Amino acid sequence: MDISYILNDLNDAQREAITAENTHALILAGAGSGKTRVLVHRIAWLTQVMGFSPYNVLAVTFTNKASSEMRGRIESLIGQQAGGLTMGTFHGIAYRLLRQHHQEVGLPQSFQILDSDDQKRVIKRLLKAMELDENQWPHKQIQAFINGEKEEGRRPHHIDIGHNPFVGKMVQVYQAYEEQCQRSGLVDFAELLLRAHELWLKNPQVLAHYQARYKHILVDEFQDTNSLQYAWLRVLAGGSGKLFVVGDDDQSIYGWRGAKVENIRQFEEDFANVKLVRLEQNYRSTGTILKAANALIAHNTTRMGKQLWSDGEDGELIKVYEAFNEYDEARYVCGQVEAWCEQGGSRNEAAVLYRSNAQSRVMEQALMQAQIPYRVYGGLRFYDRAEIKDILSYLRLLINRDDDAAFERAYNHPPRGIGQKTAESIREVAKHNQIPLWQAAEQLVEQGLTARAKTSIANFLGLIESLTEATLGLALEDQMLKVVSRSGLQAHFEKDSSEQGKGRLENIDELINAAGQFKQMQSQTTAEGLPTESQVITDGVDAIAQQDGTLLHTPQYDNPLADFLAQAALEAGEKQADEWESAVQLMTIHAAKGLEFPLVFMIGVEEGLFPSQRSHDDPASLEEERRLAYVGVTRAEKQLMITFANHRRLHGTEIYPQPSRFIKEIPSDCVDLVRLSGSVRPTVAGGYNTGMNASLQAALDAENETGFSAGEAVFHQKFGDGTVVDTEGSGDHARINVNFKNAGSKWLVTAYANLQKK
């Protein structure tokens, strides 16, 4: 038999993996090492060489896209024989099992699947029926509790309540939810897997049938399995089925949604005679990028270990850009994208990766200003996100009570007891009298509503009136802070402790940042003689110096809130690039998993942002953050650029972050520290002071003609004691950024500042 078509174009490790004997196998597949190829060729080997029928093979993936791609490649390799193969996602396979065995699991044949939104609505109706205040029992928290317990294989009667009344009430809601779903013939996503697992446990004859059928079970992205998925696989494999699992413990980044990296580490202990194969040859990235990735991930102590390598070129050094702030950072990215295109590259070859979704706002703004088409991959643009629209609707009502769209969005969000019937009454009065919804609501408060509805509407109208009065004369940022707090939106979103909920809070913080910076960026006048290059590193702000050396800003706008809302609407109105259009891709590093790009930017690589502040006191979380950084680095094929800022506005606060430890963990001979021409900034603290492009470093250091250096203690007659943060320019136009203990951060023109060294 000619089997060369199965073995051709495989490296030695790949051949070793796919030709494994009839045993369990754990394939540690590094980034870009050809794991899908190994899975496809393993199936071909099983069916064409070892003589197993496709009917005896089960292949499990995590996404429909991966399943479809794998099936297409198998069909091209072995032809129509692939038709008997069972392949799909965990949820898809579980669904088919439950359809086939609905009687055994106690479901009607026509049972329906609840998606996340449907599940939320069922829970909200239950809370109302049980007379539980949603402010005290948020539906999102209960939804996460139910799904989390199911993913651990626990029904309500399995949960130890102990003496905790809170857990007791959650279990009570869980029980009521189960009963409601059973009566209605409804199954949520977590229930699909739990019922499929219980099918095995409660029906030995059914389990025996499938164990006899599936002699070989192949699993993709094994590091992402949760407790229930792994338990399901173990039961199905039993004593005869052989598991062939492919994964990478270094790319386990979904712990926050239940994935257990421990599964891949436990595999060799749970199964006997496991064949372990490491796929370490990378076909994606340059040698320099791989060297950096290996050094970075080596700092994790709990990994199984492997070393990526390539027989390709070392390629270019990794550029690490030290930005003044997030605006400088975004402009640098835009400039590098334009340079890439000028050298023959295309925009769709470039991806901008970030740790937090909130970071997209400044990047989107810069790309729009530079007229560079972009798309947000796997998510919404900043001003399209629900929590941002919620806050903007309140702000719009503050300046225009006749804004019906804003009224519709704000009146019952967060929930304040205004039912659908009351809302319809308001709409009917507005339509009949040809008046705005606000006026209709005012009329109905005077007459025509029940006492309860009248109170709820009056409270909302009073809230807007009181917010208008309370925010009068405040700075734009303070106006927004007041609205976010007193509207109840902040407290509403804080109830959701999930990763998604934390992301919403980060987006709200970023909107407040945008408000704080908006007026500053829009209301400056240009001073004669200010150096052109300074415009690149001062948030786009032009300025003139006063006698004390501070930069004088001259406001030109009488209604900053109206201007801000107009700007937000204009940015929201700018559509993303069409699918056919070459465009830069923006995405979180989580969303980038499985993708690759010739040019990759990782922005905001700073302590407190990446790794996140939440991970600093938890070694396990910090290791997951490092795995996330490793995933980001290994998305790059040819060129990787990493940026960090010396000054950033984060969570509504001006901060001066340190470069991320992840940057410092990259070998210095892999890195080229770059900065914009004409600017002088401090070197990477605690990081590259030797061995990294020494000639460039010396040249940049020589440019600093201010006479001050970063970290130096100084005294100013007006502002008192401070610490030098940054310097810029030379001669009469040299400037210095000082963080004063009692006056905050200020840019001073050195010639006028009269600073004294301490």
Nearest to 203 by CA among 100, 109, 112, 60: 100
DSSP-based three-state secondary structure for 571: helix
DSSP-based three-state secondary structure for 185: coil
Q: Residue for token digits 């050809």? A: 34
* Through-space distance between the first and last CA atoms of the chain, rounded to whole angstroms: 84
Please count the other Cβ atoms lying within 10 Å of the Cβ belonging to residue 176: 16
- The separation between CA 523 and the C-alpha centre of its own chain, rounded to angstroms, equals 33
DSSP-based three-state secondary structure for 735: strand
Tell me the two tokens of residue 242: 């052989």
Residue type at 723? Answer: T
The residue from 191, 221, 280, 509 that is catalytic is 221
Is 319 one of the catalytic residues? no
Is 658 one of the catalytic residues? no
Which positions ≥6 away from 337 have C-beta within 8 Å?
Answer: 347, 350, 372, 584, 599
Structure-derived torsion over alpha carbons of residues 216, 217, 222, 225, reported in degrees to the nearest 10: -150
DSSP 251: G
CA distance 515 to 299: 39
Please count the other Cβ atoms lying within 10 Å of the Cβ belonging to residue 404: 15
Which regions of 202-264 does DSSP assign to beta strands (E)? 216-219, 242-247
Please count the other Cβ atoms lying within 10 Å of the Cβ belonging to residue 275: 15
Which positions ≥6 away from 274 have C-beta within 8 Å?
Answer: 23, 24, 25, 26, 267, 268
H or E element that contains 222: none
The residue from 61, 251, 281, 359 that is catalytic is 251
DSSP 576: P
CA distance 111 to 107: 6
CA distance 650 to 547: 31
CA distance 600 to 296: 17
Is 220 one of the catalytic residues? yes
Nearest to 685 by CA among 633, 616, 607: 607
Crossing angle of the two packed helices 262-270 and 227-237, in degrees rounded to 10: 20
The residue from 278, 409, 593, 635 that is catalytic is 635
CA distance 189 to 1: 45
Tell me the Ramachandran region of residue 540: left when phi exceeds 0, alpha when psi lies from -120 to 50, beta otherwise: left
The residue from 36, 81, 86, 522 that is catalytic is 36
Tell me the two tokens of residue 275: 């064949």
Tell me the Ramachandran region of residue 354: left when phi exceeds 0, alpha when psi lies from -120 to 50, beta otherwise: beta
Is 288 one of the catalytic residues? no
Is 36 one of the catalytic residues? yes
CA distance 35 to 14: 9
The residue from 35, 361, 504, 626 that is catalytic is 35
The residue from 134, 220, 224, 349 that is catalytic is 220
CA distance 59 to 690: 51
Please count the other Cβ atoms lying within 10 Å of the Cβ belonging to residue 35: 21
CA distances from 159 to 127, 278, 344, 547 (A): 20, 39, 60, 69
Cite the active site residues: 35-36, 220-221, 251, 635
